[in-house]
Amino acid sequence: MRVHMLLALLVAASLLSACTGPSAEEEIYEHLEKAVTLEDTFREQQQPMVDLESEEQQLYEEIIDLNMDQFEEIKEKSQEAASIVEERREKLELEKESIDAAKEEFDKIEPLVEDLDEENTDAKAKAEDLIETMNGRYDTYQSLYTAYEEALTLDKELYEMMQQEDLTEEQLQEQVDKINQKYNEVIEQNESFNQHTEEYNTLKKELYEAMELDVTYEETDTDREEDDSSEE
């Protein structure tokens, strides 16, 4: 199944006004919003990934429409599709680097939570919930990344198999089944990731309110496009 990850993104906010001086509240805000910015590269890979997936899927469909009398063409298209898989892998690595950098920035708020006004127990509780949710979001992304990377490896193996003249229909179907199963896992992990992100965005807004920060939110496109064609 050729399904691109629908990855939700963090919602950015702009600080309108706050107390003077580097308060814990302001420092937490700065780290959280910098984390959003660090996910820009993550977001920028979306459309290129969708385009590459569509291009690869088109090649796959062209390959399976050919017969063994056209083996040289099968081989050529399979090599081209395999190169696209590697391009997708490069985009995936850029996405992961972006997520990792954002998480590293986010982690800087943990020591600041203890510095929040002791009387503002609501803000502290929201901050702790936010940390727990972000940790869950990050862990889910790692599982999502692993599943997607494994799916790419299976894709690459498929196109290498297609370059073998003695490939049997049974072997081909077995590999396709593995690929579809792995992409189903990608979808499941992606849904969990999106749920964590939605919860995170809600909690972040509630935290800003509890810290009495005057902010305005700039909503961005939070999902990726979906390419739901399948390999059969």
16 within domain boundaries: no
Segment (H or E) for 70: none
- The pair of three-digit structure tokens given for residue 212, joined into one six-digit string: 């009495």
Confidence (pLDDT) at 226: 43
Residue 4 is predicted with a pLDDT of 59
pLDDT score at 220: 53
The tokens for 87 are 């391009």
Cα–Cα distance, 155 to 150 (Å, whole number): 9
Give how far the C-alpha of residue 201 lies from the chain's centroid of Cα atoms, to the nearest Å.
16
DSSP string, 201-229: HHHHHHHHHHTT-EEEEE----S-----B
Report pTM: 0.86
Q: For residue 105, how many other CB atoms are within 10 A of its CB?
A: 19
Q: What local confidence, expressed as pLDDT, does residue 23 receive?
A: 86
Q: Is residue 62 part of a domain?
A: yes
Q: How big, in percent rounded to 5, are the helix, strand and coil portions of the chain? A: 70, 5, 20
Q: List the helix and strand counts (H, then E) for the chain.
A: 7, 2
The reply to whether 86 falls in a domain is yes
- The verdict on residue 225 lying in a domain is no
Range(s) of the domain holding residue 164: 30-213
Note whether 4 and 226 are within 8 A (CB). Answer: yes
Query: What is residue 32's three-state secondary structure?
Result: helix
For residue 19, tell me if it sits in a domain.
Answer: no
How distant is the alpha carbon of residue 160 from its chain centre?
27
Residue 155 lies in a domain: yes
CA distances for 83 relative to 56, 178, 211, angstroms: 9, 20, 50
pLDDT in the model for residue 229:
38
pLDDT number for residue 118: 76
Nearest to 109 by CA among 216, 39, 206, 24: 24
pLDDT the model gives residue 223: 46
Beta strands, E only, the chain: 12-17, 214-218
- Cβ atoms of residues 36 and 102 within 8 Å: yes
Dist CA 167 CA 42 (whole Å): 38
Number of domains in the chain: 1
Instruction: Kindly report the CATH number assigned to the domain that includes residue 150.
Output: 1.20.120.570
Instruction: Indicate whether 94 belongs to any domain.
Output: yes
| pLDDT at res. 115 | 86
Q: Is residue 192 part of a domain?
A: yes
Give the SS3 label for residue 36. helix
pLDDT for the residue numbered 214: 78
Q: pLDDT truncated to tens, each residue of the chain (232 aa)?
A: 455 555 666 766 655 544 455 689 999 999 999 999 999 999 899 899 999 999 999 999 999 999 999 999 999 999 999 999 999 999 999 999 999 999 999 999 999 998 887 778 899 999 999 999 999 999 999 999 999 999 999 999 999 999 999 999 999 999 999 999 999 999 999 999 999 999 999 999 999 999 988 777 665 544 433 444 345 4
Task: Compute CA 168 distance to the chain's CA centroid, rounded to the nearest angstrom.
Answer: 35
